[in-house]
Amino acid sequence: MTPVPSRQGAARERAPRVGAGRFPWLLVVPAVVGIAFLVLPFAGLLIRAPWSTLGTRLLMPEIRGALLLSLGTATLATAIALVLGVPLAWLLARAAFPGRRVVRALVTVPMVIPPVVGGVALLLALGRRGVVGQYLDAWFGYTMPFTPAAVVAAQVFVAMPFLVISVEGALRGADRRYEEAAATLGATRVTVFRRITLPMVLPGVAAGAVLCWARALGEFGATITFAGNFPGRTQTMPIAVYLAMQTDPESAIVLSLVLLLVSLLILVSLRERWVGAL
Amino acid sequence: MPRPRGARTQVIGAAIAAVGLLAAAACGQVEDGGQGGGSGGAETRTLTVFAAASLTESFTTLKKRFETDNPGVTVEFNFGGSSELAQQINEGAPADVFASANPANMDLVADEGDAEGEPTVFAQNTLEIAVPPDNPADIQELDDLAAENTKVALCAAEVPCGSAAEKVMAETGVEITPVTEEEDVKAAMTKVELGEVDAALVYKTDVIAAGDKVKGIAFPESEHAVNDYPIAPLKDAPEADLAAEWIALTTSDTGTKVLTDAGFRAP
């Protein structure tokens, strides 16, 4: 991959100059308040965690099942979102077609509606009596709700928009002259996309995928509505946390810490490898 | 070098001050809302009732009655899952009365010493089988739920309707394998209403509240799991006398009538 000059690179060169002028109070004060607001709740979790019984609680088999299911479904959902979402982002950023604004608005709808409503919508579309689902049931005898496939479907529905928005932004920010140059040199549209466009927006794709994965991992409302809750089959970590909260808040805190730790580990390591390469 | 370091200390100081200000502002508002006019006597007073979500309809009806009988009083509700409400109360939420959907969550509050006196059981709820109006699996009795290929939604054992269902299964030996263990009774109802499951074990009150969207089938084995609803005034109630009056209303003939209309049983 040949290095492509990007705006981010330019920003990095400028960065040290911040220290040269007056201290940027207007930025630092709200930033510190922002950090405090985001971190304090986690501090609360850590302080209230039942450290003495942590080990025995972690060994509960339900936790392992829920964690593995969560990691597996979130990863699969991200893969599907990449396959569908990157072309969709390209369409929104580069192709001119009537109704593009409407399509873009529709794509972002899952980000703003309450996830539980998204889950009901999925039931109405893909459920046993849903618009499409009734034919799946009648023709193939297949019903999606209450299966791991439904967990993935709910996660893709809720998380894919984050990837699409992020990749579309990267595509809009990318310098189109490289694509045009490649095209004038005889490259086909597919080649241009594969060899020029994609490498240029790769950091955006990676950031979008990480965001999408994180959102899928934390998905609760649409999942429990569309896929229900059955231990080992559709019970993801957030659902296990919610149910533990009903009877045993301490277990819920432990489960939250596990989810927090695993997602932090993965996000930090991915960031170093991909996004950090910016 | 000394200059930036001094600046950093100042930044942290400013941030702490800002957070402190925010916290102070938030606390001030809570107090205003909770005790607004509490000392003012007869003018405007607010009774805050934390109640299980299943009481939404009946308590809203009783609120009108209570506000007519007590001019200048406004009843405010916080409806939710009993366990969340219990947690909020134990964390110091400003409430006068707690009405729980089961004794266990009332005990959570009582054990922390946040309830005042003994809780009173003011209503009971029993399970019913809810099926879609066309009853696709032709469910007639509890045994039918154990049949293979019948899709059943139960509540998770962690929530009251789920523990009631478990009790019924343990007492009768009927083994139901659900396709899903729902997080609350309303979610189980949604699955029935949309026809995603053939049946669910839910409360009679939920069947009545859903109207003709589902059909309810009563079953005699439900006697094994009658669910008590306790109510109690809270220790730091800003409006202790109003709290007592509200509890008196829920256990009065008027209260019982409203509750039984909604599908509850008088204790």
Decide if A242 touches B, using CB distance below 8 A.
yes
- Is A101 among the domain residues? yes
CATH number of the domain where residue A240 is located? 1.10.3720.10
Least CB–CB distance from B159: residue in A146, A227, A246? A246
Q: Are B207 and B132 in contact (CB under 8 A)?
A: no
- Is A62 among the domain residues? no
| CB-CB under 8 Å, B180 with A230 | yes
Instruction: With beta carbons under 8 A apart, name residues in chain B contacting A129.
Output: 194-196
- Is A166 among the domain residues? yes
- Is A59 among the domain residues? no
Please state, in angstroms and rounded to a whole number, the distance separating the CA atoms of residues A73 and A147.
Answer: 11
- Is A31 among the domain residues? no
Give B129-198 as a DSSP string.
EEE-TT-TT---SGGGGGSTT--EEEE-TTSHHHHHHHHHHHHH------SEEESSHHHHHHHHHTTSSS
In the prediction, which pLDDT does B208 show?
93
Decide if B191 touches A, using CB distance below 8 A.
yes
Residue A41 burial (C-beta neighbours within 10 Å; 0-12, 13-18, 19+) = exposed
Please state, in angstroms and rounded to a whole number, the distance separating the CA atoms of residues A239 and A242.
Answer: 5
- Could you tell me the end-to-end alpha-carbon distance of chain A, in angstroms, rounded to an integer? 13
Please state, in angstroms and rounded to a whole number, the distance separating the CA atoms of residues B181 and A164.
Answer: 33
User: SS3 string of chain A?
Assistant: CCCCCCHHHHHHHHHHHHHHCCCCHHHHHHHHHHHHHHHHHHHHHHHHCCHHHHHHHHCCHHHHHHHHHHHHHHHHHHHHHHHHHHHHHHHHHHCCCCCHHHHHHHHHHHHHCCHHHHHHHHHHHHCCCCCCHHHHHHHHCCCCCCCHHHHHHHHHHHHHHHHHHHHHHHHHHCCHHHHHHHHHCCCCHHHHHHHHHHHHHHHHHHHHHHHHHHHHHHCCHHHHHHCCCCCCCCCCHHHHHHHHHHHCHHHHHHHHHHHHHHHHHHHHHHHHHCHHHC
- Is A155 among the domain residues? yes
- Per-residue pLDDT of B155-175, as tens digits, reads 998 888 898 999 999 999 999
- Per-residue pLDDT of A41-90, as tens digits, reads 888 888 888 888 777 777 777 788 898 999 999 999 999 999 999 999 99
**Could you tell me whether strands B97-99 and B227-233 are parallel, antiparallel, or unpaired per DSSP bridges?**
antiparallel
| CB-CB under 8 Å, A127 with B183 | no
Q: ipTM for the complex?
A: 0.71
Decide if A23 touches B, using CB distance below 8 A.
yes
Decide if B250 touches A, using CB distance below 8 A.
no
In the prediction, which pLDDT does A24 show?
87
Least CB–CB distance from A29: residue in B15, B83, B194? B15
Please state, in angstroms and rounded to a whole number, the distance separating the CA atoms of residues B34 and B96.
Answer: 10
pLDDT-derived band of residue A167, with 50, 70 and 90 as boundaries? very high
Selected residue with higher pLDDT from A21 and B62: B62
Interface test with chain B among A151, A225, A246, by most B beta carbons within 10 Å: A246
Q: Taking 70 as the threshold, does the pLDDT of residue A12 lie above it?
A: no
Instruction: With beta carbons under 8 A apart, name residues in chain A contacting B187.
Output: 224-225
- Establish whether B185 is an annotated binding residue: yes
Q: Which domains does chain B have, with CATH numbers?
A: 36-124+228-261 (3.40.190.10), 127-225 (3.40.190.10)
In the prediction, which pLDDT does A53 show?
77
- Establish whether B54 is an annotated binding residue: yes
In the prediction, which pLDDT does A275 show?
55
Determine the structural domain holding residue A240 and report its residue range.
Answer: 73-277
**Can you tell me the mean pLDDT for A121-135?**
93
In the prediction, which pLDDT does A274 show?
60
In the prediction, which pLDDT does A273 show?
65
Instruction: With beta carbons under 8 A apart, name residues in chain A contacting B84.
Output: 245
Please state, in angstroms and rounded to a whole number, the distance separating the CA atoms of residues A264 and B45.
Answer: 48
pLDDT per 10-residue tile (average), chain B, 267 residues: 47 50 44 41 82 91 94 93 88 92 90 89 94 95 93 90 92 94 89 94 92 94 92 91 94 94 92
Q: Min CA distance, B135 vs chain A (Å)?
A: 14
Q: Are A78 and A167 in contact (CB under 8 A)?
A: no
**Can you tell me the mean pLDDT for A164-174?**
93
Domain total in chain A:
1
- Per-residue pLDDT of A104-117, as tens digits, reads 999 999 999 999 99
0.90 surpassed by pTM: no
In the prediction, which pLDDT does A259 show?
86
Decide if B83 touches A, using CB distance below 8 A.
yes
| CB-CB under 8 Å, B15 with A32 | yes
Q: Is B76 helix (H, G, I), strand (E, B) or coil?
A: strand
pLDDT-derived band of residue A17, with 50, 70 and 90 as boundaries? low
Distances (CA, A) of A101 to A105, A131, A162, A165, A172: 6, 26, 17, 13, 15
Distances (CA, A) of A167 to A80, A161, A170, A253, B159: 15, 10, 5, 34, 42
In the prediction, which pLDDT does B62 show?
96
Other beta carbons within 10 Å of A89: 26
- Is A68 among the domain residues? no
User: How many C-alpha atoms does B233 have within 13 Å on its Cβ side?
Assistant: 17
Decide if A249 touches B, using CB distance below 8 A.
yes
Instruction: With beta carbons under 8 A apart, name residues in chain B contacting A33.
Output: 15, 18-19, 22
Token pair belonging to A141: 């005898």
Instruction: With beta carbons under 8 A apart, name residues in chain B contacting A231.
Output: 181
| CB-CB under 8 Å, B87 with A129 | no
Long-range contacts of B165-169 (CB under 8 A, 24+ apart): B165/B127, B165/B201, B165/B225, B167/B224, B167/B225, B168/B127, B168/B142, B168/B201, B168/B221, B168/B222, B168/B224, B168/B225
Interface test with chain B among A60, A229, A234, by most B beta carbons within 10 Å: A229
Q: Min CA distance, A223 vs chain B (Å)?
A: 11
In the prediction, which pLDDT does B192 show?
95
Q: Are A140 and A132 in contact (CB under 8 A)?
A: no
- Is A260 among the domain residues? yes
